[in-house]
Structure 1
């Protein structure tokens, strides 16, 4: 059972706050979606453990210590808010490093097995997790891409969720984000990659000649 109280390990990882945002589209083009879906982001604001280090610094040891705790806390929020792993169909990840850090510091907390593999495990996924990263001042929103957690070719689940922390990241911090959705885009109807006809420039040229 998930508890909203961060574990001692999470506090030791330097998490200052967690921001959870959830949305539900009730009408799209004036019509209720055939498949109602919830979409959410969970963002952790953490101290940048590599602040002031040089570009030759090994980032792996700190990532190994911190990233799993962040993954557990963020997926816990998503599971609690969206109704459990069985309800979640799409996922994504992202990070924003503060202006005093390197963009690689953001990558170190989301582009390793210590984060991505655990997010995938906790949400019962098998797909590669699509991502976004950036360096920005506090309050900068970040659009997080999502796709189906087990069937990456399912085009109906290609969507985005926007995360924002009003007071983070401060220059010495990193915002780490996990996002998920319980269903497809409203009124999804553009087919699927597994059933697409072959399309090349040559084929199109012949088709329009």
Structure 2
């Protein structure tokens, strides 16, 4: 599995709502820009060969890199597949919605919940939001958030951006009551 480019983004929020954030809210994103394994083939009925050739290696590449970039214990996570204009959204979905890909991140994070995801097709520089949820309990509201990403020169028409995102906590200054208070 080859990639054209690997991009790492780290955000630290130190103030929100006019108040200091303690501890600092940290989010890391690591994205690989790869050739679409189905590019130029027309409609491909069975995507399994491309999944087998790419998904696990991609998860093995990205999971440790996003954990290292976060540099602290993970509490929330998510994933993205952004397909260039010559591909299908299903191409991105095929790579990230398989245990061959996702289990690398779940194992690295010691997570038990499904990874929330975004998939879309777009031109180079497209903006996309990666949804994040708590890594062991998807009902924890404070960790329902998203992080916006854009990579100026990706994806090219025959490429796919595959990204993982990790956060050290929930939204800065979150104040919503627990879901259990409404049940």
Same fold by TM (over 0.5)? Answer: yes
Alignment: residue pair count: 183
Larger radius of gyration: 1
Residue 56 (structure 2) aligns with? 68
Q: CA deviation at 1:80?
A: 1.1
Residue 196 (structure 1) aligns with? 181
Residue 19 (structure 1) aligns with? 7
Q: CA deviation at 1:52?
A: 2.2
Tell me which stretches of 4 or more aligned residues in structure 1 moved more than 6 Å: none
Q: CA deviation at 1:22?
A: 0.7
Structure with the bigger percentage of strand? 2
- TM normalised by structure 1 equals 0.83
Residue 82 (structure 1) aligns with? 70
Residue 178 (structure 1) aligns with? 164
Q: Verify: 1:165 aligned to 2:165, yes or no.
A: no
Quick check: 1:41–1:162 contact (8 Å CA) kept in 2?
A: no
> CA, structure 1 residues 77+56, in 2 after alignment: closer, same or farther (shift >3 Å)?
closer
Structure 1, unpaired ranges of 5+: 1-12, 199-209
Aligned Cα root-mean-square deviation (Å): 1.3
Q: 2:133 aligns with which of 132, 142, 147?
A: 147
Q: Distance in 2 between matches of 1:104 and 1:152?
A: 25
Q: Distance in 2 between matches of 1:196 and 1:133?
A: 32
Q: Verify: 1:55 aligned to 2:22, yes or no.
A: no
Q: Distance in 2 between matches of 1:162 and 1:20?
A: 13
Quick check: 2:26–2:168 contact (8 Å CA) kept in 1?
A: yes
Q: Distance in 2 between matches of 1:184 and 1:35?
A: 11
Q: Verify: 1:33 aligned to 2:18, yes or no.
A: no
- Give the 3-state SS of the residue equivalent to 1:68 in structure 2: helix
Q: Verify: 1:103 aligned to 2:89, yes or no.
A: yes
- Give the 3-state SS of the residue equivalent to 1:33 in structure 2: strand
Quick check: 2:38–2:44 contact (8 Å CA) kept in 1?
A: no
Encode CA deviations 1:84-127: one digit per residue, 9 max, x unaligned.
Answer: 5xx01100001110001111111111111111122211221110
Q: Distance in 2 between matches of 1:60 and 1:117?
A: 17
Residue 98 (structure 2) aligns with? 112
- TM normalised by structure 2 equals 0.95
Q: Distance in 2 between matches of 1:79 and 1:34?
A: 21
